[in-house]
């Protein structure tokens, strides 16, 4: 895979000021893509993320802010990104999670998790995919979760959103599969389904498990992984970024409609 194969391309990565999103944006920038950074961030966080993109190789980078719970804000952001010349690559990574039993989930919690994790991707995709169709190259990578493939207790809104995201991605993959060409790269839509990954979103679960077992943070991680992830190893955000970069390459033109787990064998059980 040539190192700068994304020169002339523009990528939008939602939720990219930290964690998995930042790692994905860095990977795309390193291959020569211009990067639209997104997130609910302070000016300092936004500036730092944009600076990072340029330092690792992006010809240009800009910050776009939008609350992913609000369709009007998403539409305005997408219009701005389109005016900037993109996106050729759309990565829907923005997500929120909060654990609660089914009967304890409030209407607001349900609405917020579904809006950010599922509806937000719908609103970005419906604007981006027609633009990709004009050029014959496009990549949509939706960061779902292992919980888009299997369920767990106390995660009804999150599991519902991620299962929905996998289904949405498959529909879009079918609708755009025949556009473009092998040499041009075509248009593909895929999901990545990470298991336990070292990000801030899992910290509340780690803290709760540590309190439950009366152990350290490392003990809590070991306990959590022992239940689900046979490898008993967490993934690093950079590993997710590497897979997104591979899916962006023209040689991945026939990989579409997939939900690819990075889960240490979790869904193989």
CA–CA distances in Å: residue 150 to residues 109, 156, 193: 21, 11, 10
- Please indicate, yes or no, if residue 134 is contained in any of the structural domains: yes
Q: What was the pLDDT predicted at 2?
A: 60
pTM: predicted TM-score of the whole model, two decimal places: 0.94
Is 152 contained in some domain? yes
Residue 1 has pLDDT above 60, yes or no: no
In a domain, 80, yes or no: yes
CATH for 62: 3.40.50.720
Domain range for 110: 10-195+236-262
Q: Do 19 and 80 reside in the same domain of the chain?
A: yes
Residues 107 and 226 occupy one common structural domain: no
Q: What percent of the chain has pLDDT over 90?
A: 93
Q: Tell me the CA distances in angstroms from 109 to 96, 130, 148, one per residue in order.
A: 10, 32, 18
Domain assignment present for 244: yes
Within a domain: residue 2? no
Reported as a single tens digit per residue, the pLDDT across 33-62 is 999 999 999 999 999 999 999 999 999 999
The pLDDT of residue 200 is: 80
Based on the domain organization, do 146 and 54 belong to the same domain? yes
Predicted confidence at residue 68, as pLDDT, reads 98
Known catalytic membership, residue 176: no
Mean pLDDT within 117-134: 98
**Above pLDDT 70, what percent of the chain?**
99
What span, in angstroms and rounded, lies between the C-alpha atoms of 166 and 128? 18
| Residue bearing tokens 């291959």 | 31
Are 187 and 213 in the same domain? no
Q: Domains in the chain: how many in total? A: 2
Among 64, 158, 163, 196, the one annotated catalytic: 158
pLDDT digits (tens, 9 = 90+) for 185-227: 999 999 999 999 988 878 888 999 999 999 999 899 889 999 8
173 with 111, same domain: the answer is yes
Cα 172 from chain centre: 16
Instruction: Give Cβ neighbours of residue 179 (< 8 Å, ≥ 6 apart).
Output: 132, 133, 136, 186, 187
Mean pLDDT computed over 157-171: 98
Same domain, 135 and 22: yes
């Amino acid at each position: 895979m040539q190192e700068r194969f994304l020169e002339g391309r523009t990528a939008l990565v939602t939720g990219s000021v930290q964690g998995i999103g930042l790692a994905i944006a860095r990977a795309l920038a390193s291959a020569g893509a211009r990067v639209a950074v997104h997130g609910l961030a302070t000016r300092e966080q936004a500036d730092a993320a944009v600076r990072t993109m340029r330092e690792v190789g992006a010809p240009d980078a800009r910050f776009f802010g939008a609350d992913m719970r609000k369709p009007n804000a998403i539409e305005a952001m997408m219009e701005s990104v389109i005016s900037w010349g993109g996106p050729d690559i759309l990565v829907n990574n923005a997500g929120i999670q909060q654990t609660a039993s089914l009967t304890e989930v409030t209407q607001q919690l349900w609405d917020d998790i579904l809006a950010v994790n599922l509806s937000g991707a719908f609103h970005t995709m419906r604007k981006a995919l027609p633009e990709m169709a004009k050029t014959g190259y496009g990549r949509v990578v939706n960061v779902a979760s292992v919980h888009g493939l299997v369920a767990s207790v106390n995660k009804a809104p999150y599991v519902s959103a991620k299962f929905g995201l996998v289904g949405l991605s498959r529909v879009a993959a079918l609708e755009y599969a025949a556009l473009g060409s092998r040499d041009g790269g075509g248009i593909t839509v895929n999901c990545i389904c990470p298991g336990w990954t070292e990000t801030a979103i899992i910290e509340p679960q780690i803290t709760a498990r540590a309190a439950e077992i009366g152990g350290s943070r490392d003990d809590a991680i070991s306990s959590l992984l022992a239940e689900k992830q046979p490898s008993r190893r967490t993934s690093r955000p950079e590993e997710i970024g590497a897979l997104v970069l591979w899916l962006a390459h023209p040689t991945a033109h026939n990989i579409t409609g997939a939900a690819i787990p990075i889960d240490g064998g979790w869904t193989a059980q």
